[in-house]
Chains A and B, each alone.
Chain A
């Protein structure tokens, strides 16, 4: 029995696993999402070990209860949503959540003009962008990263974050606005760099 799964979409793989107990289908789904999900969880937990454990727990659970899960929509959104829940749950229990930046926390307005040497210019700019992204309000930051790094659609992000697509869009709009004003000192440099 040699089946090729390379280009099979998530939903088909899941269906194959549930219907035929096909472990290869599960393995492919697992390997397709393990790193992404651990990284996503890590954005919340800030601990790689914790995130790895949460993701393993999650996969073990869906492995065991596969036939009980009625996954018809985006499998990916379901995965992310579950990991978001368990990560937030972890934070709640760790009682570190209140230390976490609340929604729309006041932004650091002071921006110090970094010294930019020519040869490190691009690197420095990326560093500055990264810093600015990290200082976005939590939910906006998560949304930004889910779209930028994880490639989730706005619909999927809405499902994962438990908000409307409209909210996702306005978070994205606002994030870009904030990033531009945060990085205003870099703007002249930005345009001469070929990205």
Chain B
């Protein structure tokens, strides 16, 4: 007996558990009609149900162990790769000039606290508590030379892109109620959110407090000021002088910036396009009404060159320009053109006339 296609579909749905209540009713009526019908249904049901399991075994725990090993290896490779990729964004050569790129050096700095515990030697209980502290104070430092950039990932997952000629000190592991790092130079922070641990950046004269957000801090000691721009979230910027605290706090939200001159309270927040302030992370440069003296410092750090001027008065001239991707010669030419003058370059030495 040849069954209708429609009936076959119903049987199939019923047997595999895909039939709706209405379909089951239709089917019920159909099997009630004849014993043959019922038999067909039961046969197919049996075939479906008695289809034996495949004989297949594999050790999932062992597989997971191997997987973990593989992932751990990969993640070390990845960190190294990231630093290399960041460095690759620099122009490798420009006419007669080859920029030397050096690997970012990670220097382990063990601070005095560590030494103390050593000195105190056998005094057990005391040295124990200090040893605990010393571990807490064990700081690491990432330092970039001129012409380099680096990416650092802290134990809490916070990521930092460090600009050229900058350094950041951070504990091996964040403990206690605060995550504190110390910056000299410029860095973009992507802070991992953790409501129970405040994240604090100490920069030139500034103390920046956050819970979890993305922001840029620019503060070289030689510049004597710190600039903070927020890309995402909310941060609090304060002077690091205790007598100035409290009333001098400036709250920054997305797209706002402040400037802080060492020893003074931060400026009121102003609205900016934060993308410009982060251009450096992708190889660009941005200057908005910046005195040439400061522009030159940025160029020196970024391209590892020394810039001298014949006429000192040009150092105060404000300069405005944006380079999506900065090439040394291009940047120098644009500056020279804006001054209506010329420049000469010999390897690392640049001179403006």
Contact = CB atoms under 8 A, between A and B. Distances in A.
A191 B52 contact: no
Interface stretch (B8-16, B99-107, B121-129, B305-313): B8-16
B81 to A, nearest CB: 11
A154 B206 CA distance: 61
Q: Identify which of B9, B58, B64 gathers the most chain A CB atoms within 10 Å of its CB.
A: B58
Nearest to B17: A147
B71 A60 contact: yes
Contacts of B71: 60, 63
B60 interface: yes
A169 B56 CA distance: 26
Interface in A161-195: 169-170, 172-173, 176-177, 179-180, 183, 187, 190-191, 193, 195
A56 B67 CA distance: 7
A52 interface: yes
B157 interface: yes
Contacts of A56: 63, 66-67, 70
A183 B51 contact: no
Interface residues of B, number: 35
Contact of A179 (B13, B47, B74): B47
Contacts of B58: 34-35, 38-39, 48, 52
A183 B47 contact: yes
B22 interface: no
Contacts of B39: 191
B12 A191 contact: no
B40 to A, nearest CB: 8
B54 interface: yes
Nearest to B53: A149
Interface in B34-59: 39-40, 42-44, 46-54, 56, 58
A191 B46 CA distance: 8
B43 A191 contact: yes
B9 A52 contact: no
B18 A154 contact: yes
Contact of A60 (B15, B42, B56, B67): B67
Query: Interface size for chain A: under 10, 10 to 19, 20 to 34, or 35 or more residues?
Result: 35 or more
B49 A195 contact: yes
A70 B13 CA distance: 32
Interface stretch (A6-14, A89-97, A99-107, A123-131): A123-131
A78 interface: no
B47 A190 contact: yes
A42 B54 CA distance: 11
Contacts of B60: 31, 34-35
Interface string B52-88: 1110101010011011001100100010000000000
A145 B16 CA distance: 12
A34 B60 CA distance: 7
A176 B64 contact: no
A180 B43 contact: yes
Contacts of A130: 51-52
Contacts of B43: 180, 187, 190-191
A133 B63 contact: no
A173 B9 contact: yes
B194 to A, nearest CB: 11
B42 A195 contact: no
B16 A172 contact: yes
Interface string A13-32: 00000000100000100110
B67 A129 contact: no
A56 B58 CA distance: 13
Contact of B74 (A27, A42, A60, A125): A60
Contacts of A176: 8, 11-12, 15, 44, 47-48
7 contacts: A56-B67, A60-B74, A126-B50, A129-B47, A173-B9, A180-B40, A180-B44
Interface of A: 21, 27, 30-31, 34-35, 38-39, 42-43, 48, 52, 55-56, 59-60, 63-64, 125-127, 129-130, 133, 144-145, 147-149, 154, 169-170, 172-173, 176-177, 179-180, 183, 187, 190-191, 193, 195
Given A169-B13, A190-B43, A195-B50, 8 more contacts: A55-B63, A60-B67, A60-B74, A130-B51, A169-B9, A176-B12, A176-B47, A179-B44
